[in-house]
Each structure stands twice: as structure tokens, then as C-alpha cells.
Amino acid sequence: MENKINEAIKKALEMAPERKFVESIEMAFTIKDVDLKNPSNRIEENVRLPHGRGKEISIAIFAGGEMATKAKEAGLVVIDPSQIEDLGGNRQKARKLAKRHDFFLSEVPHMATIGRYLGIVLGPRGKMPRPVPPNVDPGMIASGLQSTAIIRSRDRVTFHTIVGSRTQSEENITANAIEMWKRVTSKLERGVGNIRSLYIKTSMGPSIKVEVEGG
């Protein structure tokens, strides 16, 4: 599979015209013979990419006081917890917030309030905050997330995720994609046998099909 994934990445990079922004490299799975109505069969994984995502991501934290100070020093976007209720009452503003940031963190005491007011917006997008316990440096958690990609099927047979960016070498993107491939197939009852198709593309480029062995 490694050679086939590598060939698809090479072709996707060659066929995608240059853009004025750094495109991500995406991997799209379509699975078969899996009952996704049963939540236990759904794919939801946080995958640490061995060579990172290839570009900086935005991480926000709901925090005040000392935690907010540490977060600002680490380059995180700090959201005052007093804004949670107001954001919950303005769905459009909440959606913009969810779109603006790749990950959210929160001090533990605010988690229930976030769930109550923002869960309906953040939950379906897989962006509910990760709790940051007292005395834990939010910058350390954020550092790990910089190289993390989330893959979620929800109740859909086709789903996709990021495995790198055009700033990275073909070899590094391939290593990231293989890590993602291994994680997804390891979560399926029949492994590769549950994969109907696999495609690789840049953000705005054409989709390149990967021939799946045993799929």
C-alpha cells in the first residue's frame, strides 16, 4: 500500500496548480459493510502525524487568570469564559468561532457551561474543548495538537482528513498518510476488507484514486 499511496500523492501534487496559499493534502475514505447507525462502529481518532501537519494551526482556550496568561505566552487565542453564554445565544457567531480554530481547550470548570451553550455547534464539528487540568501548561497540550489530525466518520460512509501540506516533502506526506491508513484500517472489523475506496487530493486539486489491495 505504501507505494500506491506514494504514487497517488505524487500525482496529486503534480496535477494541482500552484495556489496563493498553502494547500493541505487530504485523504478520503469510503467504507463498506459497516453499520454506522451503531455509534460503536464509527471512526473517531486523533492521529499524531509523524511529520506534523506542515503548517501552523489555530488553537483557542476558554480560560482566565494565570491559565490565560500562560496560554497567551504559548501563542493560543484566549476566549474569556464570560463570553460563553453570549456565544451560545448567537449561532452565527459561534459557527464562525468554530470555523476559525482547529482545536479548543478549556479550564475544567468551564466544560459543563461550554457543553450547555456551545455543544450544539462544537460537538458535530468534533471541536468540543479538551480539558486542561490545573497546574498543566496549556502550551504543552497545544504543542502536541500542532501535529494531530482528527478523522471522524460520524454516520457517513465517506469521510476525510488532513495528512500534511504542500510545504512538506513527498516522503513526509507519505509517512503521514500511511500512519492514517493504518489507524483507520485497525479500527474496522475486517480492516482493509471494509474499505470501498481511497482518494488523495490537495485542498482544491483533483482527487486521485488509490487502488486498495483486498478492498
25-34 residue pLDDT tens: 999 999 999 9
Predicted confidence (pLDDT) per residue in 60-77, tens digit: 999 999 999 999 999 999
- Look at residue 214 in the predicted model and tell me its pLDDT: 63
For 122, the domain range is: 59-145
- Look at residue 60 in the predicted model and tell me its pLDDT: 98
Tell me whether residue 78 is in a domain: yes
| Cα–Cα dist 165/171, whole Å | 12
- Look at residue 126 in the predicted model and tell me its pLDDT: 87
Count of domains in the chain? Answer: 2
Question: pLDDT grade, residue 215 (50/70/90)?
Answer: low
pLDDT > 90? residue 184 = yes
Tell me whether residue 90 is in a domain: yes
45, 184 contact by CB (below 8 A): yes
The CATH number of residue 111's host domain is 3.40.50.790
Pure H helices in 79-208 = 84-88, 91-100, 111-122, 138-145, 170-186
Pure H helices in the chain = 2-15, 65-73, 84-88, 91-100, 111-122, 138-145, 170-186
103 alpha carbon, distance to own chain's centre: 8
pLDDT > 80? residue 52 = yes
Question: pLDDT grade, residue 157 (50/70/90)?
Answer: very high
Q: Which residue has the cell 471522524?
A: 152
Tell me whether residue 215 is in a domain: no
Q: What is the mean predicted confidence (pLDDT) over 90-107?
A: 96
Same domain membership, residue 26 and residue 14: yes
Question: pLDDT grade, residue 213 (50/70/90)?
Answer: confident
CB atoms within 10 A of CB 98: 19
The C-alpha cell of 143 is what? Answer: 504543542
* Distance set, CA 156 to CA 25, 29, 43, 114 (Å): 21, 10, 10, 26
Tell me whether residue 11 is in a domain: yes
CA angle 78, 81, 84 (to 5 degrees): 110
| Cα–Cα dist 87/45, whole Å | 28
Same domain membership, residue 175 and residue 113: no
